[in-house]
Amino acid sequence: MQLNTTLIRQLRAEKGWTQQQLADICNLSLRTIQRVELHGIASLETSKALAVAFDVDRQKLQQTTFSPEPPPATQGVPIWLPVVTFIAGIITSLFILLLFDR
């Protein structure tokens, strides 16, 4: 389940709780709270525990705004770049050989 990370952090800050305190209140691990606040990924049970701790409806914690897909990873080196680099290296080598062959 995807939760609203900004809202979760905001609600925790309003209560003045650390991540560890929230984890203790919800009977969850610190790592679970960190993952929820960073990625918004939570199980149904985790979302229920957070809703009870914050005294809000569970649906309020769910992601309500559209978040676009993250940008794709860099595609890497275009195929033409190594070819051009290789050809330029050959041309440069031939030029140097011709220049110093005299």
Q: Domains for the chain: give ranges and CATH numbers.
A: 5-61 (1.10.260.40)
Global pTM reads 0.62
Q: Which amino acid is at 15?
A: K
Question: In the chain, what are the helix, strand and coil shares in percent, each to the nearest 5?
Answer: 65, 5, 30
Residue 69, φ and ψ in degrees, nearest 5: -60, 145
> Tell me, what's the pLDDT at 70?
62
pLDDT tens digits for range 44-73: 999 999 999 999 999 999 876 555 566 666
